[in-house]
Chains A and B, each alone.
Chain A
Amino acid sequence: MKHLLRRSLTVRLTLLFSLSATLVLLALGFTVARAVDRHFVEQDLDALNGKLTLVSHAFAQLRTEEDLAKLPALLDSSLVGHHGLAVAVIDPQGEVFFRTSGVSFPKTLLEKPQSADRRGPVVWQTGEGHFRGIAGQVTTQLPGWPEGIVAVSTEISNHEAFMQAFRQTMWIIVALAAVLLGFLAWVATRHGLNPLRQLIAGASEVTASRLDYRLPTESIPIEVAELASTLNDMLARLEESFKRLSDFSSDLAHELRTPISNLMTQTQVSLSRVRSPEAYQEVLSSNAEELERLARTVSDMLFLAKADNCLIVPTQEPVRMEDEVQDLFDFYEALAEAKGIRLARQGHGQVCGDKLMLRRAISNLLSNAVRYADADSTVSVTISEKVKVIDVCVQNTGPTIPPAQLPRLFDRFYRADTSRHRTTEGAGLGLAIAASIVRAHGGYVGASSDCGTTRFTLSFPESPSGATDQT
């Protein structure tokens, strides 16, 4: 049961609802039964008090002994038609003066009252039935009959029987109502949870090949709509990651297939007949170069995969960007000079992060800039401190990149010029790696190109100690 309670919202709601309905009905039944009961008691007391007053009045009017003698007959006749009413009168000597036949009064009622002149009500039971009675004192103006006690009773067995039947009926009604309400609650809950079931049906439609499916949010209640739109957001994120992943694997397969097939063909061709040692050496050297490139591509891919999964955690040390750029200039100097390219640096700034990674990011941009720069031009690196941001901008003059291609430059394996020979450059991962390094440092990358000038900008959040460390 406990298990079921936890598992099924319908069962839980149904039980809760019928339990509270039953409680309300019980309270209602109890109140009604009490009210009816009290009404009966009041009705009885009214009748009894009236009778007592009547009897007292009769005694008070007694003038003579004859009147007294006639009184029992008078009382008898006055009781005719009052079904169940009985009267007993005790004379001053304590003897029974008058008593309706068939009813015995309890002693407490017939004793002389101590203080109040009326007593009761008292309820008692005899063989004849159930009675309720009160008693009071009467006085007369007769000298031998100064005062007496009058007890009046009424039979209440029929009231009791009524109450019992009433209670029984009521409990049955309450029980039936509780069952009925429980059923209604179940129906209502099931109906109320329908949108949730629709959501489930919708969500079960989603498969890897149908990640573009979105749950409807317009036609369902607001509480569930929130859930649906949250699920939709999740689906959108999943779809994007999934798409990226599948693009990535197809790119990867494509990028690796070409060099592997080259290697295979070259090796098989050279094995097809006996050759001179120089020829073998040539093939093996060429294979070694190709394999080295493959190994690089794979380790770059691994780096990117880790970055995607947030496994790249840069160390946090203050890095002076101008020093890094200067060291990189020393490295690229020979290559740049060979192409007649000058390297220029401006500005300074400090970034908090991983020195090696930052150097790698800038190195990839520089390598790119030197590769595409026009001969006899300048590649310049500008470090500038803006509001809470350190920008490292690498600029070269060279072919303008069409605006449509700019956002794709940081995609892995993306090459702006598809006709370029693959051996003359890396696998097209350099900018992607730079971008993921910058993102791992909480920054962002940007690219712009116009009028023969291409700029790549790495923006890092300002290091907390950056300002003070400048001194």
Chain B
Amino acid sequence: MKILVVEDETKTGDYLRQGLMEAGFVVDLARDGLDGLHLGISEEYDLAILDVMLPELDGWKVLQGIRKAGKQMPVLFLTARDQIDDRVKGLELGADDYLVKPFAFAELLARVRTLLRRGKGKEPELLEIGDLSLDLRRRRVTRAGVRIDLTAKEFLLLELLMRRQGEVLPRSLIASQVWDMNFDSDTNVIEVAMRRLRAKIDDGFEPKLIRTVRGMGYVVEVGE
């Protein structure tokens, strides 16, 4: 998977490149709008991350140029401006998502993966990791063949984690996807909910599948 990052802020650009590369992507970094547009048109990318405020050519213009050249890869905007207008403008111009700075890297990674996954393959009916399986059609969860009873929200939470297994999901993303809390809400709630889910899924089983990544969020994976 190849990603184009256009970001003029040196530190942000560097950590975006490093973070994305460590997450397994191939990353090209452009430091201004003109370079970004040039790369975007001449190379093939699976996704582009554009800063709005760029020297030479702003993010909107880069997006327009890329679309004009017939490139249809998903585009995610980064903006320091927390304004609905920007969002509307971005979406009108054909951006696929939008993230306000400062953002958590985990949040960015989650969005990137969502965009890359979009429109690919059909919905699986069964999610599995290790000996844990989640039957979406029958709304049933079993671990090592033992049936586990979950509340509706716990089921949604586990489904989210298993769909994105291996990805660290930030608390804000979980609150927004599972409970539709699209604002900074009480993060203690997520911690308690995760603790309860973990008690049902991991207590008495090995290996532990749900892991807390301090300062970032939660991930479901088979531990090393």
- Identify the A interface with B (CB < 8 A): 284-289, 291-292, 295-296, 298-300, 302, 327, 330-335, 338, 356, 359-360, 363, 367, 426
Contacts and interface: CB of A to CB of B under 8 A. Distances in A.
Task: Give me the 10 closest cross-chain CB pairs, A-B, nearest first.
Answer: A288-B215, A285-B214, A367-B186, A285-B215, A334-B193, A331-B179, A334-B192, A335-B192, A335-B189, A360-B183
A335 B82 CA distance: 30
B42 interface: no
B72 interface: no
B196 interface: yes
Interface string B207-224: 000000011100000000
B186 A327 contact: no
A300 B184 contact: yes
Interface residues on B, range: 20 to 34
Contacts of B182: 356
B93 interface: no
12 contacts: A284-B215, A286-B215, A288-B214, A292-B104, A299-B82, A331-B175, A331-B179, A338-B192, A359-B181, A360-B185, A363-B183, A363-B186
Contacts of B102: 295, 298
Contacts of A299: 82, 184
Chain B interface helix/strand/loop/mixed: loop
A298 B179 CA distance: 24
A438 to B, nearest CB: 15
Tell me whether chain A's interface is mostly helix, strand or loop, or mixed: helix
A360 B184 CA distance: 8
A363 B181 CA distance: 9
B89 interface: no
Given A332-B189, A356-B183, 14 more contacts: A285-B215, A286-B214, A286-B215, A288-B215, A291-B215, A292-B215, A295-B104, A327-B179, A331-B175, A334-B153, A360-B183, A360-B185, A367-B185, A367-B186
Contacts of A330: 153, 179
A335 B182 CA distance: 18
A295 B170 CA distance: 14
A399 B183 CA distance: 29
A157 to B, nearest CB: 93
Interface string B92-106: 000000000010100
Contacts of B214: 285-286, 288-289
B168 to A, nearest CB: 11
Contacts of A287: 215
A302 B101 CA distance: 13
Nearest to A294: B102
A217 to B, nearest CB: 44
Interface in B172-188: 175, 179-186, 188
A296 B82 contact: no
Contacts of A327: 179-180
A200 to B, nearest CB: 42
A407 B154 CA distance: 39
A455 B92 CA distance: 45
Nearest to B196: A334
Nearest to B182: A356
